[in-house]
Structure 1
Amino acid sequence: MRKKFIMTGIIAVSALALTACGGGGDPLSSGSGDGGGNGGSDTVIVGSADFAESQLLATIYSQALQNADIEVEEQLNIGSREIYLEALRDGSINLLPEYNGSLLAELGGEIDPSDPEGLRTQLDELLAPDELMVLDESEAENADTLVVTPDVAEEHDLKTISDLEPVAGELVLAGPAEWKSRHEGVPGLQEVYGLEFKEFKVLDAGGPLTLTALQNGQAQVGDMFSSDPAIEANGLVALEDDKGLFPPANILPVINENVASDEVVEVLNSISAALTTENLMAMNDRIANGDDINQIATDWLEENGI
């Protein structure tokens, strides 16, 4: 029986077209440094990272705010966290969907998965100097996950990331370019797990290039996202992060205080309250099957009365 082959995560080519959904042009060219961008001080400029799920979440934010008659611009597909955080700081954008533990790690905080309140307190403190704040977090989570094919898992008896230690030198790891320097990437895998891979192959962040490399044997270990339906659909084995390298990754909005009116906050918090990992996976599956992101966002908002 032929195995079903699903591409999801970053849809690298088609995602580029989404950049022009709202503001158009260079997504970083409109920043004024005061949180306003091209619009007035009360315009919410929604940005996203350069992968499909982030673009979907940003589109949900954008449509929900527009439904509430709030002026919105979109600057999607900006890039990695290192790039879009600067866009938030310089005012090119003033709202973006984020992942709580991953953001805290980037900001240099101390992560204790058993203390979500402490995590949030640190985020508030670290973002405050840039006039940024986080709103309510969602139950929906999407953490980095190391995956292997069933054949690789069986050959090397792999169940946890620690199990890779004696065989990592024989294996190629695939992931995004930023993994070369991020602690939650190659450096952390070396420091926390003692893993020295044969090669690190720069591909995409949990997207079709990584999936293809795993399927055709160009890589044996890959970084994918836990909410990606391609993991289950393609029978991949997600290795347990038994030493806690990858932080919790609940979705929440990051927003500039200047545009965080009571109405804006209420709309965004209602999205967080309704969003679950299960319906996030269902929406990601629709993206993988070629559905339009704008329509997926519209359908989810209608289903949840937002």
Structure 2
Amino acid sequence: MNRRTIPLVSAIAAGLLTMSACGGEDPLASDDSGPRSDSGTVVVGSADFTESTLLAEIYAGALEAKGIKVKKTLNIGSREAYIPALQDGSIDLIPEYTGVLDQYFDKDASATDSDEVYTELQAALPKDLIVLDKSDAEDKDAVVVTRKTADKYDLASIGDLKEVAGDLTLGGPPEWKTRPTGVPGLEKLYGVKFDSFRALDAGGPLSVQALKNGQVDAANLFTTDPNIPANDFVALEDPEHLFAAQNVVPLIAKSKADETVTDALNAVSAALDTETLAGLLEQVVLDKKDAADVAKEFLAANGLD
């Protein structure tokens, strides 16, 4: 392990202070006792990680360009928080990923191929929700280690961890401790059982910092994360397909998916591929550009503004 230069508790505390400084109130809270939005407004939400926020800004901008009234409710939290928000009308639209969304609604989901996952997902969705066109952009969960750790234990794939994980610590978002694609899936599919699990964030700065500083030996990051190449991290291969295809897709309340909304969001999906998404994310994460500004530039470059 690398020398621990920043205690984990301090890093978590700093992250919490940062969130507080940005507005610690519940993003779904409302002073109104009535509906969250009128019928002509689309409330766009996001999960609590950078890429989701960036995609939500892109969706919001594309809708506004078509004259649709938009309200943004960003950084809601995990899927366990924002899916109920979609179903109770607190939000109307959120960027999602086909594979994990399929597994959320269908505990017996088995598809791994991109098109098969999309088909299986459409059948699994509740009647009040639909997904629009999936994009070619894909961002998967990954088990990531430092180059030093990969070389020390000769790690190339997740299965290579089986004999050494008992001496290692895994870091990831709190929900990874119980999700089928988290700790339980690693044990079930690969026989990989870590010595301990540390709850961090959803592939965000706490996870990156903890991996860099040796506070964890492996972490859940996302494959488009520019921190992986920037830090020479190693994303371990997943030959058993613990992580199914994860194409970016708009998840929307069926009642809000009229022709104008659908066409605007499908046009975004048509313009997105993995390389493009990774480049946009790099501007936000490494170049420290505002996500809303990056979204505007993307929309303008693709004639969607």
Matches within 5 A, 1:255-266: 255-266=252-263
1:191 corresponding residue in structure 2 = 188
Q: Give structure 1 stretches of 5+ with no counterpart.
A: 1-10
For residue 86 of structure 1, what is the aligned residue in structure 2? 84
Matched length: 288
Q: 1:200 to 1:26 in 2, by over 3 A?
A: closer
Question: Helix, strand or coil: the match of 1:41?
Answer: coil
> How many angstroms apart in 2 are the aligned matches of 1:140 and 1:12?
31
**Which residue, 191, 196, 210 being the options, matches 2:207?**
210
Aligned to 1:125: 123
Q: Distance in 2 between matches of 1:26 and 1:199?
A: 30
Q: Which residue of 2 is the match for residue 63 of structure 1?
A: 61
The aligned counterpart of 1:4 is none
The answer to whether residue 160 in structure 2 is matched with residue 163 in structure 1 is yes
Assess if the C-alpha contact under 8 Å between 2:117 and 2:245 holds in 1.
Answer: no
Determine the C-alpha separation between the residues in 1 that align with 2:66 and 2:21.
26
Counterpart residue identity of residue 71, structure 2: E
Given that 1:184 and 1:246 are in contact with CA atoms closer than 8 Å, whether structure 2 keeps it comes out as yes
Report the equivalent of 2:28: 28
Aligned pair partner of 2:264 in 264, 267, 271: 267
Q: Which residue of 1 aligns with 2:229?
A: 232
Partner of 1:3: none
Deviation at 1:43, TM superposition (A): 1.3
1:291 pairs with one of 268, 289, 292: 289
Aligned to 2:112: 113
SS at match of 1:281: helix
Distance 1:252 1:271 in 2: 10
Q: Deviations over 1:260-284 (max 9, x none)?
A: 1101000000000001111211111
Is the 1:142–1:227 contact (alpha carbons within 8 Å) kept by the matching residues of 2? yes
Using the alignment, how far apart are the partners of 2:250 and 2:104 within structure 1? 16
**2:36 touches 2:89 (CA, 8 Å); kept in 1?**
no
2:134 pairs with 1:143: no
Is this contact kept in 2: 1:162–1:193, CA < 8 A?
yes
Instruction: Give a deviation string over 1:4-42, Cα, whole Å, max 9, x none.
Output: xxxxxxx8776777779xxxx643235999xx9432123
Aligned to 1:278: 275
- TM superposition shift of 1:126: 2.3
Q: 1: distance between equivalents of 2:120 and 2:17?
A: 36
How far, CA to CA, are the matches of 1:140 and 1:154 in structure 2?
30
Tell me how far apart the structure 1 counterparts of residues 123 and 160 of structure 2 sit (CA, whole Å). Answer: 37
Identity among equivalent positions (%) equals: 45
- Match of 2:125, SS state, is helix
Alpha-carbon distance change, 47 to 145 in structure 1, aligned in 2, over 3 angstroms = same
Q: Distance in 1 between matches of 2:16 and 2:281?
A: 14
What amino acid is the match of 1:173? L
Return 5+ residue gaps in structure 2 as ranges: 1-14
Q: Distance in 2 between matches of 1:214 and 1:38?
A: 40
Q: Deviations over 1:231-287 (max 9, x none)?
A: 011101110012111121100001111111101000000000001111211111111
Change (3 A) 1:141 1:15: farther
CA–CA separation in structure 2 for the residues paired with 1:280 and 1:95: 19
Alpha-carbon distance change, 31 to 133 in structure 1, aligned in 2, over 3 angstroms: farther
Q: Measured at CA, do residues 179 and 93 of structure 1 come closer, stay the same or move farther in structure 2, by a change above 3 Å?
A: same
* 1:156-213 alpha-carbon deviations (Å, 9 max, x no partner): 0000000000000111111110001101101111111111111111111111111111
* Residue 220 (1) aligns with residue 217 (2): yes
CA–CA separation in structure 1 for the residues paired with 2:61 and 2:149 = 43
CA distance in 2, matches of 1:200, 1:74: 33
After TM superposition, the score normalised by the length of structure 1 is 0.88
